[in-house]
Structures are given as C-alpha cells and as structure tokens.
C-alpha cells in the first residue's frame, strides 16, 4: 500500500469530485454528522461511524449535506500487492458499512493523520503499516456474521456505562451486571464487536478526554491525570504516549489562551 494523500475534513460547505476516476483507492470514515457521495451515479449517504471504500478508476463526487457540519478522515492510496491480501480491495464496486469497531478504527486513522502531518523520518512507511493494520480490522469485521440488533444494543449499553464511569476502575463484572450477562460472555462480546478489550476502551476514553482538557483547560498535567482516573502521572504519560505517539506536555505547549 502506498498512501497518496491523507486529510481530516471539517466543513459545512465541502465538495469533491473525481469524475474521470483515478488510479488510487479512497477510504472515508465519517466522525461527525453526515455527507453524501454519488458514485457511478448512485447516491450513498455516509454518517458518523460509517466507512466508505471507493475503488480506483471509479468516477464519483461528494458534497456536504446543506447547512450541516460534518467531519471525516479521507485517505487515498494505491493498493499494490495488498489487493492480493485483502478481498475488499478486489471488489469492483464501492463498499460501505457502519462499523462496530469505530473507536479502534478512528484511533488508527488519528495516528496516521498525526504521522502524515509531522512528517518525521520514515513517516510514510509507518502510515502504510498502520493503514494495513486498519484493513485487517475492517476485514475481521467484514468476515464476521452481521451483528444482530440485540447484540449491538448490549454493546452500546456497555459503552454508555463506560462513558459514565471511565474515571473509575471499570471491570467486566460491573459491565456484566449492566447487561445481565456473565462476566466472561460480556468481555468476549465486547471484544468481538469493538475490536478492543474493556481495559483498552477505558484507556482510549480517558485519553480522549485528556486530549481535550490538555488543549482547552487551565489544569496542569498532574491535575488532568488525577481527574481522568490516573493517580500516577508517570503511568498516565506512558499510556498517553502509547495511544497517541505524543506526551501530554506537547499539547500543553499548544494550549489555547484561557481568558480570566
């Protein structure tokens, strides 16, 4: 795989066209709102949590839904030898799906975007490795049987519980009580649908909050660490670096000025 372009769009007045088709593939993941694509003259609405894969040499154009803001990651790439490894890259038509592994996929795209912006040595190699890993997750989900509505609702219940309790020590026993299932079944179901363990999801939720607070609050790194549930700041640093590739102080240095 060779990454050609990588962007994070945030707009209420977006328009893009590839009417002649192009030699690269396009992968889109909407993270907020929704937008519309016309691919071979067929309309495809793409909403938050939904990915869209457009094959090379496929004419398309897309635009924002009027008066609505949307945000999305867009990566364009040449498949190369990867087309022999991944069945999705052998399909002649566009493909779209609402993913149950949203947080995991967004995390990989966020890392690719960070590397693409920083352009440190070997960044292209790392971006392509992360994109390949992302396709592994897409295919695991693609190959699985369609998740039933009831199962999806159970996982959403668990995610809701974590959102309300992520600052605490969340266990599989607590989530099991939340959905009235056994702890082992609960943990296995959560991992199957989301692609993450309960612990990984909790850490990701904490770090997402930390990123916002580091950029927009007046709290110190230690205060933020304690607020989101890490009593040991050094452990917070390690988790933050593992998930983002940065250290908390990198974001503090770019912090917005807080008006008193």
List, for residues 205-229, the tens digit of each pLDDT value.
999 999 999 988 989 999 999 999 9
Q: Mean pLDDT over residues 99-116, rounded?
A: 90
Q: From CA 187, how far away is CA 172, in angstroms rounded?
A: 6
State the pTM of this model.
0.69
Q: From CA 146, how far away is CA 100, in angstroms rounded?
A: 10
Tens of pLDDT, residues 166-194? 999 999 999 999 998 899 999 999 998 88
| Tokens matching residue 168 | 């605490």
Name the CA radius of gyration of the chain, rounded. Answer: 20
How far is it between the farthest Cα atoms of the chain? 58
Q: Mean pLDDT over residues 70-84, rounded?
A: 91
Alpha helices in 166-197 (DSSP H): 172-179, 183-194
Neighbours of 35 (CB within 10 A): 25
* Whether the predicted pLDDT of 146 surpasses 60: no
Q: From CA 87, how far away is CA 6, in angstroms rounded?
A: 22
pLDDT of the residue at 40: 83
* Whether the predicted pLDDT of 200 surpasses 80: yes
**Range of lowest pLDDT (1-5, 10-14, 66-70, 217-221):** 10-14
* Whether the predicted pLDDT of 2 surpasses 60: yes
pLDDT of the residue at 147: 57
For the chain, give the mean pLDDT: 88
Q: From CA 163, how far away is CA 202, in angstroms rounded?
A: 8
Q: How confident is the model at residue 163 (pLDDT cuts 50, 70, 90)?
A: very high
* Whether the predicted pLDDT of 259 surpasses 50: no
Tens of pLDDT, residues 37-47? 999 878 899 99
**What percentage of the chain reaches a pLDDT higher than 70?**
95
Dihedral sign computed on CA atoms, order 247, 241, 101, 174? negative
């Amino acid at each position: 795989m060779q990454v050609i372009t990588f962007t994070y769009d945030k707009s209420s007045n977006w328009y893009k066209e590839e009417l002649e088709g192009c030699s690269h593939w396009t992968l889109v993941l909407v993270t907020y709102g929704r937008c519309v694509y016309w691919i071979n003259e067929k309309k495809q609405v793409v909403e938050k949590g939904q990915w869209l894969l457009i094959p090379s040499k496929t004419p398309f154009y897309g635009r924002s839904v009027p008066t609505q803001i949307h945000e999305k990651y867009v990566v364009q790439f040449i498949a190369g030898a990867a087309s022999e490894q991944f069945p999705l890259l052998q399909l002649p038509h566009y493909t779209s799906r609402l993913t149950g592994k949203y947080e995991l996929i967004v995390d990989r795209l966020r890392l690719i975007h960070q590397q693409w912006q920083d352009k440190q040595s070997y960044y292209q190699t790392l971006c392509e490795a992360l994109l390949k890993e992302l396709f592994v997750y897409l295919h695991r989900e693609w190959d699985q049987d369609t998740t039933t509505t009831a199962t999806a609702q159970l996982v959403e219940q668990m995610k809701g519980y974590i959102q309300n309790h992520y600052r605490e020590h969340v266990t599989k026993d607590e989530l099991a009580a939340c959905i009235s299932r056994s702890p082992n079944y609960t943990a296995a179901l959560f991992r199957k649908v989301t692609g993450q363990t309960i612990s990984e999801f909790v850490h990701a939720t904490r770090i997402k909050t930390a990123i916002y607070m580091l950029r927009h609050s007046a709290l110190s790194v230690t205060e933020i660490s304690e607020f989101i549930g890490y009593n040991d700041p050094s452990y917070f640093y390690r988790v933050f670096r593992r998930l983002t590739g940065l250290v908390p102080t990198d974001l503090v240095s770019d912090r917005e000025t807080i008006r008193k």
